[in-house]
Structure 1
Amino acid sequence: MSGQFATIFGTGISGLTAARLLSLTGWTVELVGDTQSTQRWITVSGETALLFNDLWGPDIFQACRSYPLIGRRVDWSVDGLSEVTEPLWAVELSSLNVAMLRRLRKASGSRISRRNNNADCEPVRFAGATHIDASGRSTSFTREGRLVCGKRTMRVWPSIRLSFPSEPIAEVFAGEGFWSFAFPIGRETICLQLATPRTCSAEELRDVMLRKVTSATPLLHYAINKTPDIFDDGSAIFSTAPTLTLKEPLSRRLAIGDSLMTLDPLCGDGAGHGLKSALLATGVLNSIADGLPALHALAHFEERSLFAFSAHLRQCQRYYSIMRHSGYWAYELHDMSEAIIAPKVINNKNTPVKLVAEGINRFNRHSHTKPAITLVPER
């Protein structure tokens, strides 16, 4: 793939992964954006952790701030409390980004260059470079040019001090007019996230939480009842309504990660989506560079994105409809029903097209079989 150039806007999970995959297949890549400096914790599923290991090395989480969790304690529906023994990782994003960037530099060397956001918005290094938008989501994330499915928001506290040793298990709780996700960070700190159908003031949340939280989920109960100043400051508010970009994919301009679509954290794996969208975009761009007609490759990219977004909305509908006090989320359920997309098949079924992205060091050329995209990370 020598002679191919890409400029990637964003240095989060999707942007750095795309840079790694493209550089390993011979592209010269310019990264635009500052390394994330705010301390924000996420949880990563066991399946996504395996994909991280495939793409970034088996010890990538050991190279950053992370803690293993043994599963989730779920108090969601009228069926009561249950426990899901699925391994999770609590990972601090800024340290993960630093670890990924170090490995990218080590593996790709001169094929990677960087500049920060203080430079001009448009890249100047490579004339005719492919642009990849991986700028991600923040508290100032714009909804312009996107399909937006709801108004729900999440308030996030990065760390609350504990005075008792907690189990390494996350907690999910459906309350009256909110749902929460809490998980321990080591033995002395917890991360708390509270989602509501609309943006609520700290005073509104305090009144609801003090009256409605039970001891079934000890982390949440402790945070609310033993930390009286929890609602005073220290939290950030994010929109958690699923969104999908309405911009048509072009052979020289693709969106990945949160710039392509954002997922509801209740049943969406944002980190996994970042990795998979980078894999898909890299396979598409390499196939176009190999001579596959751009129309067919981009049709696959759009179709896969539409299918993934529709599947996510349906999963969200199922979870919100079975939760206790689901009436508070009636508008969100209606908005998602209105937005469900029946993905159209853009590709001509009679055209023999196959995109195969196999492994991180090689991308097979298209073969003459039925229309499909197969993404098989090397294990």
Structure 2
Amino acid sequence: MSRQPDLIAILGDGISARCCTRLLERSGIKVGVDTRQRSGNPAVMLSGATLNLLNDCLGERLPTGQYHPITRRIVAWGDNDAVSVKHSGIAFGAHQLSNLLPQPVSDIRAGTAADFLVFAAAPFPESSHQSFGKRIGSAAEAVLLCKEESNACWIESLDSGWIFLIPTGYGQGWLLGVGDELDTLLSRSRYLQRRVVVAEPARAIFETAPRMLSRLSGPNWLACGTDAIAFDPICGDGTGQAAREAVLAAAVIQALTDRDCSETSRDKILEHYHSLLLAAMRRHLRLCVQFYTSGGCTPWWRQQVLDLIKGFEWCSAQLEKLPEPKYGLHNFRLIRRSTAA
């Protein structure tokens, strides 16, 4: 890229795309949006911290009062009995969160030339993905038989996978099964089998293993969102990660639009973006290893751990080739670390 970008094109319509668009619009940068369709999560649960981050990105409070509160998390992991702990969050049914997010101000017309592209959905300029394992997930609507537990989410490990229950209303919710088929997992459950009934066959089948593009930035583009870098749902941080990617992407673009930004600096800033997301994936894989190590001792669980360790080692090898990050985020802006204080 030989000059500062004047028009930024956002390609996508997920959490990252919406948040990045709003952050750039608020900073006065000209943005065009191509709302490529993508399949959203059937249900999602947000922690208080993630909700606050979304509000900060959007510059307004999401009208969440009508959505379902989650006050407990019940965990039955490994050989341990179920344990209930306090939890503060809200749950959304299919497409509810997406419908709450503000629409972009401007759309890209056919033939419009942009100076910089933000790919928040496929296809990407760099199409090579690194996948850190293989474990299929499926989701289905469920009826809660214990309606008094409608404020509690559940996670339960089994010999060949795990199940996560998100209540989305009184007596209703969504089941996510990872590993074996959802019906098979539920039939082997110690707890959830007698608490839920699947309302209809699984409506969504998808890959849940962590994965990312081999390159997340180039001379006039960067990639973000769950199509570009996806976390394992076991950590329950997918929406928060998507928002953090948007914050970083918007900060990078704002730095690129600085008229004093040299071509050398632009290259370093884009390399910084790729490096930080690579480091985020490595941290995520380390955390996943802890969960999968304690989830069970069958061959299925051991294979997941081996795949995650290989992914961690791959990320470490890639980071060793990159320089130490020279920038930091401060008030949604990218600044040199020497001046961050």
TM-score, normalised on structure 2?
A: 0.85
Report the CA distance shift for 1:57/1:67 in structure 2 as closer, same or farther (over 3 A): farther
- CA distance in 2 between partners of 1:271 and 1:156 (Å): 17
- CA distance in 2 between partners of 1:147 and 1:101 (Å): 32
Query: Secondary structure of 2:78's partner?
Result: coil
Query: Secondary structure of 1:312's partner?
Result: helix
- Report the CA distance between 1:178 and its aligned residue: 1.8
- State which of 318, 322, 332 in structure 1 corresponds to 2:290: 318
- Report the CA distance between 1:320 and its aligned residue: 0.4
- CA distance in 1 between partners of 2:122 and 2:298 (Å): 30
Please show how residues 1-379 of structure 1 align to structure 2 within 5 Å.
4-33=6-35, 40-57=42-59, 59-62=61-64, 66-92=67-93, 94-102=95-103, 104-105=104-105, 112-113=106-107, 124-125=111-112, 127-135=113-121, 145-157=128-140, 159-162=141-144, 164-167=146-149, 168-196=151-179, 200=180, 205-207=182-184, 209-210=186-187, 212-215=188-191, 217=192, 220-223=193-196, 226=197, 233-247=201-215, 249-290=217-258, 291-292=260-261, 293-340=265-312, 341-342=315-316, 343-344=319-320, 346-347=322-323, 353-359=326-332, 363=333, 366-367=335-336, 369=338
- CA distance in 2 between partners of 1:283 and 1:315 (Å): 27
Amino acid at match of 2:170: R
Deviations 1:340-362 (A, max 9, x none): 1212363378xxx5344415xxx
- Report the CA distance between 1:37 and its aligned residue: 8.0
Query: Secondary structure of 1:337's partner?
Result: helix
- CA distance in 2 between partners of 1:161 and 1:356 (Å): 44
- Report the CA distance between 1:221 and its aligned residue: 2.6
Query: Secondary structure of 2:16's partner?
Result: helix
- CA distance in 2 between partners of 1:367 and 1:206 (Å): 52
- Report the CA distance between 1:53 and its aligned residue: 2.1
- Report the CA distance between 1:306 and its aligned residue: 1.2
- Report the CA distance between 1:155 and its aligned residue: 0.8
Query: Secondary structure of 2:87's partner?
Result: coil
Q: Which runs of 5+ in 2 are unaligned?
A: none
Verify the 8 A CA contact 1:6 1:129 in the aligned structure 2.
yes
TM-score, normalised on structure 1?
A: 0.77
Question: In terms of mean alpha carbon deviation, does 256-265 or 26-35 score higher?
Answer: 26-35
- Report the CA distance between 1:310 and its aligned residue: 0.4
Work out the percentage of aligned pairs sharing the same amino acid.
22
Superposition RMSD in Å: 3.0
Return structure 1 stretches of 4+ with deviation > 4 angstroms.
Answer: 34-39
Query: Number of residues paired by the alignment?
Result: 328
